[in-house]
A and B are shown apart, each in its own frame.
Chain A
Amino acid sequence: MAIRITGIDLAAYPVDGGRKGQLHQGFCQSGPLDPYAFTVANLLCGQRSATAIEFMGGLRVEFTAPAVVSVTGATAEISLDNQHQPCWQTLHVKAGQHLSVTPARPGSKHYLAIQGGFDFPQVINSASLVKREKLGGLHNDGQPLNVHDEVQSLAVTSRFHLPPALPQPLIPDYSSAVRVGLVPGYQHDWLDSLQWQRLFNSEYTVTPQIDRMGCRLSGPAIELPSRALYSEAIALGAMQIPPDGQPIVMMADRQTLGGYPKAGTIARCDLNHFAQGIPGDKITFYQLDADDARAKWLLQLAAIERWLSL
């Protein structure tokens, strides 16, 4: 079973759960930018955390064999041989059919999952592609997919059970005005009350300086005292405040260590909304303490488990 890539507008590359337990060796975490959409894409194919294709901009593929697939992510037009198909649902595809995905907004993130998972080389226990580290991809050199590439899927075993249709409330509303929870941490006490007010009461704009490593925002500058700081581990979603006061949120492919002060981290329950931001989008932040952030995350997981047990 395989797909042949017939069109890539911006970028497409393999992602899975990421490199786990390797940060201390300098390997970045990698994995999906929108972990929620990635997870649901796999669940719709009857599996957890198999290798999927993350893509930005349009993607067109031809199937060389029948397959069970799903497409998730921000709003997009999906068609199979020009027949309209729903996003965030299981799709049954016949050999020779052409799938086309056209995102409503260029730069949003989307996932194509296939039953069995796509077959990409594994390196350090993961198929996730990291360009900077020259890891992953069809030739395991960190190069993303190209038109004409063929990607195989792994064998489907009998333990795959397809879930019922995904209930509407489990489909995220990726509207362009995004409110994102921030869990104060790290050097949070370097911000005085005025700076915290500024951070929580201002609108920040996603700049074009955005990639899989991080997302630079622009808005009212956060002023911090100038103090020495040894490089330290950077958590997923950490908000760095460089000397110009414009926050940078660190994403899946972030470097493992860094020496900029950090105000805190984006709450996991809102990380997918933040990751779907494209240049020009407006973001506001609200304070969330660690217990509440964990509770909100566990509620999201519970909602998914309820769907699977329907």
Chain B
Amino acid sequence: MQPFAAIRAIEFAGEDGLIFYTTGATLAAQNQAVKSLHHAITARRPDWLSELVPAYDSLMLVFDMTQVDYHAVYQFVSHLPTASGTHSAEARLHRLPVWYGAPDANDLALVSEVTGLSHEDIISRHQQTPYNVYAVGFAPGFAYLGELDAELATPRLANPRKAVPKGAVAIADRQTAVYPDVSPGGWHLLGLCPVPLYQPDASEPTLIQAGDKVTFYAINEDEYYALVQQAGASH
């Protein structure tokens, strides 16, 4: 299939799916093109659309193959007005509090060893940048945020944990994330976030969507427990 505009390649993801790969000078630019395409398709929401899954530099589209074939889907997408840069709605911004160094989620010493940075420096660098939500996946509500300060880049743990605590704020390579629930994981942990990211019974079960932006700010232990209680009460 012939690529077009900001799409560098189109491949099959099954006989009922296509995956569009975007082009751009930086990962942020590639992801911007994913957002534009995602928005353009969502705005039309054709009947045959089953799934639309954005990630870093790709967008998978799954269609109902009783209604259309991939030729029709290709025609539809290639005729969308997706002029690069004209990205739609303002990105939603989430400001997430973090109790850095919380005893249940504290790999600051390990990170310090790898990066040569002091604990204070690690914590302040983690809060410096507003992050793009490049993708949501792995588990419900797990948002991949980037890009992390290059000085903070760490490899994954040699022995992944069997149970990372709910709300753990973690880093790996040039990514950061908050674990929405207890799960196995191999990222280094910096602290705990009291804001629930995943509530299966809520009308919007996941807080963060691909395309949003996230910033972190430091809180202390007392503020953490007050916010945990508040979240519990409102739920």
Of chain B, the residue at the smallest CB distance from A181 is B15
Q: Report the 10 A-B pairs with minimum CB-CB distance, sorted nearest first.
A: A185-B12, A257-B137, A233-B60, A233-B53, A230-B56, A293-B15, A235-B13, A256-B137, A265-B14, A290-B15
0/1 string, A226-265, CB within 8 A of B gives 1: 0000111101111000000000000000011100000011
Q: A27, A134, A265: which contacts B13 (Cβ < 8 A)?
A: A265
Q: Is B121 an interface residue (CB 8 A)?
A: no
0/1 string, B137-157, CB within 8 A of A gives 1: 111111010000000000000
Question: How distant is the Cα of A119 from the Cα of B40 in the complex, in angstroms?
Answer: 39
Of chain A, the residue at the smallest CB distance from B136 is A26
Q: Is the CB of A186 within 8 A of B13?
A: yes
Q: Is the CB of B140 within 8 A of A264?
A: no
Q: Is B82 an interface residue (CB 8 A)?
A: no
Q: Can you sample 8 A-B contacts with CB below 8 Å?
A: A25-B141, A27-B205, A186-B13, A232-B57, A235-B13, A238-B13, A257-B137, A290-B70
- Interface stretch, picked from B61-69, B122-130, B218-226, is B61-69
Q: Is the CB of A235 within 8 A of B66?
A: no
- Interface stretch, picked from A34-42, A97-105, A152-160, A294-302, is A294-302
Q: Is the CB of A298 within 8 A of B65?
A: yes
Q: Is the CB of A232 within 8 A of B60?
A: yes
Not counting A124-B200, A290-B70, A291-B69, a sample of 12 additional A-B residue pairs whose C-beta atoms are within 8 angstroms of each other reads A23-B137, A25-B136, A25-B209, A26-B142, A185-B14, A233-B51, A255-B139, A256-B53, A257-B53, A290-B12, A294-B16, A298-B65
Q: Is the CB of B13 within 8 A of A294?
A: no
Which residues on B sit within 8 Å (CB–CB) of A167? none
Of chain B, the residue at the smallest CB distance from A140 is B200
Q: Is B201 an interface residue (CB 8 A)?
A: yes
Q: Size class of A's contact patch?
A: 35 or more
Q: Is the CB of A231 within 8 A of B13?
A: no
* Cβ distance A233 to chain B, nearest Cβ, rounded Å: 4
* Cβ distance A213 to chain B, nearest Cβ, rounded Å: 12
Choose among B12, B14, B59, B205 the residue with the greatest number of A CB atoms under 10 Å from its CB. Answer: B14
* Cβ distance B180 to chain A, nearest Cβ, rounded Å: 8
Which residues on B sit within 8 Å (CB–CB) of A25? 136, 140-141, 205-206, 209
Which residues on B sit within 8 Å (CB–CB) of A20? 50-51
* Cβ distance B63 to chain A, nearest Cβ, rounded Å: 10
Q: Is A199 an interface residue (CB 8 A)?
A: no
Q: Is B11 an interface residue (CB 8 A)?
A: yes
Question: How distant is the Cα of A24 from the Cα of B209 in the complex, in angstroms?
Answer: 8
| Chain B residues within 8 Å of chain A by Cβ, number | 41
0/1 string, B180-219, CB within 8 A of A gives 1: 0100000000000000000011000110011000000000
Which residues on B sit within 8 Å (CB–CB) of A9? none
* Cβ distance A302 to chain B, nearest Cβ, rounded Å: 10
Which residues on A sit within 8 Å (CB–CB) of B117? none
Choose among A24, A133, A235 the residue with the greatest number of B CB atoms under 10 Å from its CB. Answer: A24
Q: A21, A186, A257, A293: which contacts B138 (Cβ < 8 A)?
A: A257
Q: Is the CB of B201 within 8 A of A123?
A: yes
* Cβ distance B141 to chain A, nearest Cβ, rounded Å: 6
Q: Is A44 an interface residue (CB 8 A)?
A: no
Q: Is the CB of A188 within 8 A of B60?
A: no
* Cβ distance A184 to chain B, nearest Cβ, rounded Å: 7
Given contacts A26-B137, A290-B70, A301-B66, contact A230 B55 (CB under 8 A): yes
Q: Is A268 an interface residue (CB 8 A)?
A: yes
Question: How distant is the Cα of A26 from the Cα of B50 in the complex, in angstroms?
Answer: 15
